A and B are shown apart, each in its own frame.
Chain A
Amino acid sequence: MRIRPITRVVAVGAAAALTLTGCASGNSGSGTSSSSSSSSSSSSAGGGATSGGGGGGGGAGKTVIISTDLPLQGSSASQSDSTNKLIQLYLEQVGNKAGNYSIQFKAYDDSTAAKGAWDDAACAKNATDHVANKDEVAVMGTFNSGCAKIEVPVLNRDTTGPMLMVSHANTNPGLTKTWDTGEPQKYYPTGKRNYARVVTTDDYQGNAAAAFAASDLKVKKCFVLNDNQTYGLGVAKSFADAAQKQGIQIAGQQSWDAKQPNYTALFQSIKATGADCVYLGGIYDNNGGQLIKDKVAVLGDNKTVKMLGPDGFTGYEDLLKLPQSEGLYLTFAGLTTEQLVKAGGVPAKLIDAYTKKYGQAPTGSYPLYGVAGVQVILAAIAKSDGTRKGVTDAVFSGEGIDIPQSESVTGKEIKIDPKSGDTTAKDVTVELVTGGKETFLKAQAVS
């Protein structure tokens, strides 16, 4: 009666596999993020209260709940945590009120620990919970476009709504405008819009980078790389299209494989095309460091052959530490926190208060945009009758929502187009990496 030690083998296998994923989940997290960007290094979790009310403000009017829907675990965790804290701080500053309504805040988590990133089942579950929570009138989120594509149809089908969602970070164009087949109609099964955003979409970023490359860098021939993910493909495509219009020749387009150990061969082939500029459409998490090293090794430094990247490469300390990143041009959809603080006014005050309370500035550039999303929601609630339908209608009918520059936390007027839900503020910042820092170069006009 010899026993095959299958149990042992399976158990050992499972344990080993567990270790593997445990290690992997740390750095593979935002690989799937289609809105990407700036989760700067590893800052601690921070045990701040991410849920629970900000305390009732005045007694007048009924109480409505607004929520955030962010990945609170994995590589986007610190940024999401900052976003929630900053929003709570802002709500306190405005007295937890919008018009006649008292506002309560609730945070949802759309990630799971096993994945260390947003998870589709968690997104679907959250969407159900948003709808089921009767007092909730609007959602600020999500961080990832993929998650929004799951949640928006669910909120759209809400019989008491549709329910409003305002995102601070979804840059995938398909959510609001004609992009891939069936988009955006398939996200709005009732035919009514209920999704708005306060950030510029990927296509503008590609356009801005192309305009900058043509007019400022005066490059002639660009090679466009992408990381083969939704976000990377989107910005790469829009950059290539816009560049051709600007008279830049596209030497070729190719995907880089994030799991490849080096890219020497790739850049050798690019060298053969004689390109004088390389565009990295993707996010730094997908082995961007190696990509940049090999680019400089093969094609020479970034002065001779220019290198440009989208906001998927911003906010990474590891990237800034690389000597090879010197001279890298980066674009960012919106304005960076530093710029906003420098400009003074509302954003500076909010960031100051945050720094005072938590001892450090919020992580990344998206927390301020999170507050901008909340501003849109609060303005909509103030204009509405306090029901979900009313709040959504406030954004998608008549003039829509307009937050003047003097009040906006992004330092610019926030105007939501009532037809599409897109913001009319199309800021794209061009940054130059120099001396181990992202330095503001110019605000690129977007056509």
Chain B
Amino acid sequence: MTTTLQRPPATGRGPRRSGPGAVARFRWPAGYVVVIVLLFLLYQSILPTLVTPVANGIASWLPVATINECLMWAIMALGLNVVVGYAGLLDLGYVAFWALGGYTAGWLMAAPFNWTWNVHLATAVPGDYPGTHINFWFVIIIAGVLCAILGIIIGAPTLRLRGDYLALVTLGFGEVITQFFRNSNNIAGLNVAGGDGGISSIDGIGTGPFHVVDKSVPQALSIDSTSNTYKILVLGLLVGVCIFVSLRIREGRLGRAWLAIREDELAASMMGVPLVRAKLSAYAVGAFFGGIGGVANASGITGAVSPSGFDFGKSVLVLLMVVLGGMGNVWGVTIGAFLLAWLNGNGLKQIGVQLDSWFGWGAETWLPRYNFVILGLLLVLMMLFRREGLIPEKRTKALLRTPNRTEMESVGADITEAEAESEAAEANSGDDAAIASAARDVSPVLGQAPSARDDGADGPDGVVRADGAGTSDGTGADPAARRRDETGDVSR
């Protein structure tokens, strides 16, 4: 009994420590590293050796620059996923963090734009070059922290809001930040961020020791094709870190609190989830990722920041990545980011070129203009046929497929009848068991309730959870436990 109660904080760790679990633990990092290294090798050594038509084909369909863009978008999407996917707080102004991150890079690693001075800190930029030049990795951390603070500032007034209202306020903040930077050439007489022209010539990513070891590695990864190939590794590492943090944080106390808030804020607060802290943490963590992405974008992708780069359209695109990919599912979101970033950056254009070469439509120029129609159509189709996203989170999937009790009530069935029906509907699907066990994972109190009433079943229940229910999908939970849980739910 006591062990059962204490278990939740250790979710997923206990059983994985030894035996096959240890292998499973490294499965995704290993796979991910292989993918990134393969991508790197493809452009670094395989592509030059291929016959021209093949190499050109790859280079035009999937240029290195686009891969880097995709990776950068993936960081943003993973960040937004924490806010929207995990905590369920709809954020339409995510571009604000992106902008602040980018401008932090502009302030700390670029040529001067307001007055001239020299600050150099562990950077690849030659010593006599004017301006502030601080190492990329320091800037990333500074930008992350700044953005996290901004996230909390933005988050604080929105704590009482939900749904549409929350979306409106965040949308407002997104616009405010862009306007701030647009007018930043004269804030109390001070040129804070270069105004409409922004800050240009931001340093590349210094390679430091790698350049010393291997001279073929550029000293700084600026914007050129050699550097772009190496950037796959750097951005890949950043995305990897974001994925890792996303996955781990989800399993922890905080992550489970977010999921609880997402599914039912009122219930979560009743169960003792500290709403204010959990929501602000979601904003802070999401914003931290946004800051990282902003620096990666400014330093690695564009080499400049200006307010026009942070328009509302980008917030929407990131949100689409999260929704299309599968809200809450890290892999889905990453895939969504790759897909949409590719379509927006290079894909549609290239499809146009291909269509032209087949039919001579001149589609290269007009097809990308229908970007929004195509994306909109994609979204509508998605919502019709696969609401939960490309790679859905198991939890969301289960929830979406469960008949909604309130709907049943609204068509006239009384509560017990509705329940009997839903139970019958759920009996042979494994998904509902997942919900039940996941719900127990989220709030230990919920898990405790039925077992306290029903002493006899406590033993097997505990065993089941220790074995299989560690992760939220918990396919092993038995229907009996689930039913008990449902009763507990109703009596509440």
B113 close to chain A: CB less than 8 A: yes
Q: Would you call B371 and A114 a contact (CB within 8 A)?
A: yes
Q: Interface segment, A149-157, A207-215, A417-425, A436-444?
A: A149-157
Given the complex, which residues of B lie within 8 Å of A125, measured CB to CB?
63, 65-66, 69, 345
In the assembled complex, A342 has its CB within 8 A of some CB on chain B = no
| A364: interface (CB < 8 Å) | no
Stretch among B23-31, B139-147, B396-404, B468-476 lining the A interface:
B396-404
Is B453 in the interface zone, CB < 8 Å from A?
no
Nearest chain B CB to A403 CB, angstrom units: 30
Counting CB contacts under 8 A, is B210 at the interface? Answer: no
Q: Do B396 and A117 have beta carbons less than 8 Å apart?
A: no
Enumerate chain B residues within 8 angstroms of A128, measured Cβ to Cβ.
64-65, 223-225, 228
Chain A residues with Cβ below 8 Å from B69 are 121, 125
Q: How many residues in A have their beta carbons less than 8 Å from beta carbons of B?
A: 72
Q: Which of B175-209 contact A (CB under 8 A)?
A: 182-183, 185, 194-198, 200-201
Q: A47 in the interface, Cβ–Cβ < 8 Å?
A: yes
Interface residues of A in 83-135 (CB under 8 A from B): 109, 112-115, 117, 119-125, 127-129, 131-132
Known A-B contacts A15-B379, A233-B185; A6 and B225 likewise in contact (beta carbons under 8 Å): no
Q: Is the CB of B90 within 8 A of A13?
A: yes
- A158 CA to B225 CA, complexed, in Å: 10
Q: In the complex, are the beta carbons of B225 and A132 less than 8 A apart?
A: yes
Q: Is A322 an interface residue, CB under 8 A from the partner?
A: no
Complex CA distance for A16 and B379, rounded to whole angstroms:
11
Task: Give the docked Cα–Cα distance between A105 and B320 (Å).
Answer: 37
For residue B224, which residues in chain A have a CB less than 8 angstroms away from its CB?
128, 131-132, 154, 157-158
Of the candidates A112, A114, A189, A229, the one whose C-beta lies within 8 Å of that of B201 is: A189
Residues on A with C-beta less than 8 A from B301 are: 120-121, 124
Q: Knowing A20-B312, A48-B362, A51-B364 touch, does A180 contact B197 (C-beta < 8 A)?
A: yes
| Cβ-based interface call for A72 (8 A) | yes
Q: Does A182 contact B (CB under 8 A)?
A: yes
Q: How far is the CB of B24 from chain A (nearest CB, A)?
A: 29
B65-A112 in contact (CB<8A): no
Contact B379–A124 (Cβ < 8 Å) = no
A21-29, A192-200, A331-339: which one contacts chain B? A21-29
Total number of B residues with any Cβ neighbor in A under 8 Å:
96
Q: Are B316 and A17 touching (Cβ within 8 A)? A: yes
Q: Which of A13, A20, A114 contacts B344 (CB 8 A)?
A: A114
The answer to whether residues A18 and B320 also contact, given A1-B489, A121-B297 and a CB cut-off of 8 A, is yes
Please tell me if A4 contacts chain B, counting CB pairs below 8 Å.
Answer: yes
> Among the interface residues A18, A129, A187, which one has the most CB atoms of the partner chain B within 10 A?
A18
A14 contacts partner chain B, Cβ-Cβ < 8 Å: yes
- B9–chain A nearest beta-carbon distance, Å: 24
In contact, A15 and B116 (Cβ under 8 angstroms): no
Within residues 301 to 345 of chain B, which ones have a CB less than 8 A from any CB in chain A?
301-306, 308-309, 311-317, 319-320, 323, 327, 344-345
Is B163 an interface position by the 8 A CB rule?
yes
* In contact, B304 and A150 (Cβ under 8 angstroms): yes
A14-B319, A125-B63 are contacts. A154–B308 as well, Cβ < 8 Å? Answer: no
Which residues of B are found within 8 Å of A6, using beta-carbon distances?
88, 90, 163, 262-263, 327
B265 interface residue per 8 A CB criterion: yes
A7 touches B297 (CB 8 A): no
- Interchain CB contact under 8 A, B112 and A4: no
For residue B349, CB closer than 8 A to chain A, the reply is yes
A181 interfacial contact with B, CB 8 Å: yes
When A17-B92, A21-B316, A109-B349 are in contact, do A181 and B113 touch as well, CB less than 8 Å? yes
Provide a sorted-by-A list of 12 A–B residue pairs whose CB atoms are within 8 angstroms: A1-B439, A4-B264, A7-B400, A14-B316, A18-B375, A28-B311, A120-B305, A125-B63, A149-B200, A149-B201, A187-B200, A229-B196
Interface residues of A (CB under 8 A from B): 1-4, 6-7, 9-11, 13-15, 17-22, 24-25, 28, 31-32, 34, 45-51, 72-73, 77, 81, 109, 112-115, 117, 119-125, 127-129, 131-132, 146, 149-150, 153-154, 157-158, 172, 174, 180-182, 186-187, 189, 228-230, 233
Closest 6 pairs (CB-CB, A-B)? A47-B362, A113-B371, A32-B308, A186-B111, A125-B65, A120-B302
